[in-house]
Amino acid sequence: MPSMSTMAVYVIAATLVLIAPGPAVLYVVSQGLRHGSRAAVTAVLGVHIGTLVQVAAAVAGLSWLLVNSATAFMVVKYAGAAYLIYLGVRTLLSRRSPEAGQDLPAPAPKGRRRLLGEGFLINLLNPKLALFFLAFLPQFVDPAKGAPALQITVFGLLFVLLGLCTDGAYALLAGVIGPWLRRNVRLLRGERYAVGGTFIGLGLFAALAPSAQRHA
């Protein structure tokens, strides 16, 4: 098993990666602002079920396949980009028309399955997460400390646990801010455009960014 010092360095590095805003954080925060802490926490669970699949893929060598197979990488890349753009367009089209000066009631909550499913797909269809695991996790693996596959599994599960904590904090904070935001119609309208536009921007960036993987 990895040493305590290695684990400590890993925890710090992984936490810094996790708190940086990305598609998963954006999705969790947007659900917290619109639907409350419970919905956002459900979204967090979906996101990190997707992360668990990515961890399993890393252990099984599928991350290597995504990096070394141009076809596999491009399929996942464009599927993930399309899904982000879809989320952005749907957010922009979710119009509500409150009267001037009138508090906006909380929107109808999404179903738990939908929240789990959307969060799951965001991280499942994220080839950058697979590349991250392939590039990041081996830096902490020491063959002298045990089977590499077991060490990668430990680091991957720890990444998921840390993600539940960091994204959970985002979820709770967004849930607290949400009711105040819904009393400010202009801010809420701005939030819709900001979130929707950011999702579309992330999707376009993911689709257009040059691929750094090696070709088989």
**Of 67, 147, 162, 80, nearest in space to 118 by CA:** 80
- Total-model pTM: 0.74
> How far is Cα of residue 27 from the mean position of the Cα atoms in its chain?
7
38 residue type, one letter: R
Provide the H-helix boundaries in the chain. Answer: 4-19, 23-35, 37-60, 62-68, 70-93, 112-124, 127-136, 148-182, 185-208
Q: What is the pLDDT along the chain (216 residues), one digit of tens a residue?
A: 777 888 888 999 889 889 888 889 999 998 998 888 999 999 999 999 999 999 998 888 866 766 677 787 788 778 878 888 888 888 788 765 444 444 444 555 678 999 999 999 999 988 778 878 877 877 787 777 878 788 888 999 999 999 999 999 999 999 998 877 666 666 666 767 887 888 788 778 767 866 544 443
- Domain limits, the chain: 4-69+98-188
User: Looking only at Cα atoms, what is the longest distance across the chain?
Assistant: 67
112 residue type, one letter: R
